Structures are given as C-alpha cells and as structure tokens.
Amino acid sequence: MRNQTRDLAFADDFIIAKLVENVSDYEIEDAVVVNVSPSPMITGSEHPAIVPAWKSTWLRGGCIKSAERAALVKVVRPTNLGGCMFRGWDWLGNRIKSFPRDTPLFISAQDTIGRVRTDPQVFTNERRSDEAPQDFTLKLNLWWAPGDTDCFIHHIHPFLETHTQIHGYGRMQKFRENDAASIYEDVVMPIGYSHDPFCRVTGPNQWTYPWHRYYADSESVWLAIELHP
C-alpha cells in the first residue's frame, strides 16, 4: 500500500511530525522532508530532483514523487515552543550525570520507525557500493535548545547518526579534543539541511567519532537520525 502515514512519537500541537512509507505522488504543503532510507527520494513533477539517502529538503507546495520512507517535520507554533519540557520532553541531564546543569538541552520521545539494511561504510561515505550490508534499527527523535546553547562536546555513540535542522539555525562542530578552543570544522545548519555523518567505521559494529557538538545559534529544533546495530 502506498503513502502509509502515521504521526511520529514527538508530534504535538506545536510540531507536525509524520512518517510516510512507500511514498508516491505525495503532496507537501510546508515541511522539512527527510529521506530516512538508503534509497534516493525523488521530488517534483515538472522538474524532478533527487534527494540522496539520509539527506533532506524543505518543500513548500511541493511533491514527493517517490521514496521508500520519509519523515515530514514542521514547527507550526513557535511561540512558547520552549515549553517542550512541560510536554514530556526530557532534560538531557536526567540521563547523563556529567551533563552540565546549566545547559538547557531537551530531548523528545524517541520513535523506532523500522529496520533498514545498508552498508555502514556507504552511510559514512567511505565507499559508494554496498559490499557488507547489515540490518539496523532506525530511530528518530527531536532536540530543542534556546539560542547560544553549547550542546555539550562528546565523541562516543553506540550507533550511526546524522542530524537535520528543523527550526532556527545552528552548527555541527568538530574538535581536536574536548575543548571548544580546539575547533577545526564548523558545519552551518539552516532549516532543511542534513549534515554528512561525522563517524568512521573502524570494525564490525564499531565506529569512531571526532569530538563534536551541536551549537544552537538561535532557538533550534533538530532531528536526530540513529541507526542501531
């Protein structure tokens, strides 16, 4: 069945968030559209365009011509959006004891949207063709932070990840060590942008991340895409 649609776990009165599978000729009024699959997504009709695997675009009155699986996310009520902590979002310090107590970083409910088969080195752009595909569980969640928030330098994840900017603007940054002064790459994140994965595959179900963080320049909402082995 085409265009199977459901709300994602973090949809509420402030944020529209939907998952669409087996997508065909699906009209989009206004939303960031994320290709959450290893296959290309085709948008448009008169002038078709390709959105590569794990990338995104901002469609306004547009159309997804075809896709395996897409997430549609849009902040529709920005006023008092930061009240997400009263709508079930969790402060990250409740999960990580070492997290700075003065950092206002909140995470939504996480939605497990299914299984996906891909080569981790294709995901990380270390090679082009699937030579060693494996199955992953695909999970999505949102993050929120106010402007000028340092969202914590870290370098360990037990999964593959990338992010998409949904609201506001920020930066994904890389560091030589756990020190903001050691920054060596600054990836600007405007609405609708998904950055390339930061990790590198170092063995079976092993990946190495540089020291990195998200920095919110303005009030920001961004989507985390996680592939769990």
Reply yes or no on whether the pLDDT at 142 is more than 90: yes
53-84 pLDDT, tens digit per residue, is 999 999 999 999 999 999 999 999 999 999 99
Query: Given pLDDT bands bounded at 50, 70 and 90, which one contains residue 131?
Result: very high
Mean per-residue pLDDT for 36-52? 95
Distances (CA, A) of 42 to 12, 56, 69, 109, 113: 28, 11, 11, 29, 21
Contact 6, 19 (CB under 8 A): yes
Distances (CA, A) of 82 to 14, 153, 163, 172, 205: 10, 22, 20, 21, 36
3-state secondary structure of 51: strand
Torsion angle of the four alpha carbons 152, 157, 159, 160, in this order, in degrees rounded to the nearest 10: 60
Question: Tokens 């998904």 appear where?
Answer: 194
CA 140 to chain centre: 7
Quick one: what percent of the chain has pLDDT higher than 70?
100
Spatial separation of the C-alpha atoms in residues 61 and 118, rounded to whole Å: 31
Mean per-residue pLDDT for 135-159? 97
Spatial separation of the C-alpha atoms in residues 89 and 81, rounded to whole Å: 11
Mean per-residue pLDDT for 187-191? 98
Q: Tell me, what's the pLDDT at 157?
A: 95
Mean per-residue pLDDT for 134-141? 98
Question: Tokens 């390339």 appear where?
Answer: 196
Query: Given pLDDT bands bounded at 50, 70 and 90, which one contains residue 150?
Result: very high
Spatial separation of the C-alpha atoms in residues 80 and 62, rounded to whole Å: 28
Q: Tell me, what's the pLDDT at 48?
A: 94
Spatial separation of the C-alpha atoms in residues 168 and 153, rounded to whole Å: 20
Tokens of 131: 């030579």
Q: Tell me, what's the pLDDT at 46?
A: 85
Query: Given pLDDT bands bounded at 50, 70 and 90, which one contains residue 121?
Result: very high
54: alpha, beta or left? (left if phi > 0; alpha if psi -120 to 50):
left
1-23 pLDDT, tens digit per residue, is 999 999 999 999 999 999 999 99
Q: Can you give the pTM of this predicted structure?
A: 0.97
Contact 148, 184 (CB under 8 A): no
Mean per-residue pLDDT for 186-206? 97
